[in-house]
């Protein structure tokens, strides 16, 4: 079973959901996929009394009791889908879902340059002063374009909690974690709040109207 939550959650929402999930008698795993917070619950079929407080919470957008491959592919990366197929009871059971899953896992990865840089987006898709969250492999990256047309790429996963995704606030010119009010500058340094360390920062290069994430230095 998957519980998918509303896009905009307050810190109070997040704390309440954590408490409800911790009280479940089932294995539950949080993840952040695209712009959604997702809770994967590994359970056998049967009564759902223990789940009702969480399912009925106002922060829940929808519940996937028996999700289709199309629904899964919108929420999870290739590696997540493979983990789901191996570890989650009944989630991908049956041959009807197996072939689409194999096709999805075989899809080509993000474009790589000879130097190992990874294609992010067309520069024209990010207006000056705005940002865009891009999935690269299994990682979300927040790409910020300043008014001076410089680009910054930060890991979009907050260092305080790996299920919280940071956002760029243009007016404040700061990166904010909405879960626990962590604040970072555009280089990833912690300005305030509970995050224990900076966000990973990677250089962005622009070539021929395309943006590329520089490979990690070894």
Q: What is the pLDDT of residues 11-45, one digit of tens each?
A: 788 888 888 888 888 877 777 665 667 888 876 55
The answer to the question of residue 96 being in a domain is yes
Q: Same domain for 97 and 164? A: no
pLDDT for 141: 92
Question: In the β-sheet with 190-192, what is the strand arrangement from edge to edge?
Answer: 167-169, 174-177, 182-184, 190-192
> What predicted TM-score, i.e. pTM, was given to this entire model?
0.60
Same domain, 18 and 42: yes
Q: What is the pLDDT of residue 13?
A: 83
pLDDT at 25: 81
Question: Of 55, 84, 105, which one is at a domain's C-terminal end?
Answer: 105
Q: Are residues 123 and 85 in the same domain?
A: no
Same domain assignment for residues 100 and 14 = yes
CB 97 within 8 A of CB 69: yes
Q: Which domain holds residue 91?
A: 2-105
9 and 98 part of one domain: yes
Q: Residue 34 falls within a domain, yes or no?
A: yes
Same structural domain, 122 and 188:
yes
Strands 36-42 and 174-177: unpaired
Answer yes or no: do 89 and 124 share one domain.
Answer: no
pLDDT at 102: 36
139-149 tens-digit pLDDT:
889 999 998 78
Contact predicate 14/180, CB 8 Å: yes
Show which of 72, 105, 138 is a domain's final residue.
105
Q: Are 213 and 153 in contact (CB under 8 A)?
A: yes
Q: Is residue 89 part of a domain?
A: yes
The CA–CA distances, whole Å, from 87 to 26, 144, 193 equal 14, 36, 35
Residues 92 and 155 occupy one common structural domain:
no
Q: Which residues of the chain have pLDDT under 50?
A: 79, 82-110
Final residue in a domain of this structure, among 47, 70, 105: 105
| Domains in the chain, number | 2
């Amino acid at each position: 079973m998957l519980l998918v939550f509303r896009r905009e959650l307050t810190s109070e929402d997040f704390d309440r959901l954590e408490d409800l999930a911790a009280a479940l008698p089932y294995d539950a795993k949080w993840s952040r996929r695209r712009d959604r917070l997702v809770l994967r619950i590994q359970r056998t079929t049967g009564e759902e009394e223990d789940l009702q407080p969480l399912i009925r919470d106002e922060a829940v957008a929808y519940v996937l009791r028996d999700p289709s491959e199309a629904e899964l592919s919108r929420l999870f990366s290739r590696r997540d889908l493979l983990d789901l197929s191996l570890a989650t009871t009944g989630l991908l059971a049956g041959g009807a879902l197996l072939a689409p899953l194999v096709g999805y896992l075989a899809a080509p990865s993000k474009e790589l340059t000879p130097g190992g840089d990874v294609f992010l987006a067309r520069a024209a898709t990010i207006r000056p002063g705005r940002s865009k969250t891009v999935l690269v492999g299994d990682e979300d990256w927040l790409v910020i374009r300043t008014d001076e047309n410089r680009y910054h790429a930060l890991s979009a996963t907050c260092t305080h909690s790996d299920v919280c995704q940071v956002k760029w606030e243009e007016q404040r010119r700061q990166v904010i974690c909405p879960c626990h009010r962590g604040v970072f500058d555009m280089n990833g340094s912690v300005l305030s709040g509970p995050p224990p360390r900076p966000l990973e920062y990677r250089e962005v290069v622009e070539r021929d109207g395309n943006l590329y994430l520089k490979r990690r230095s070894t």
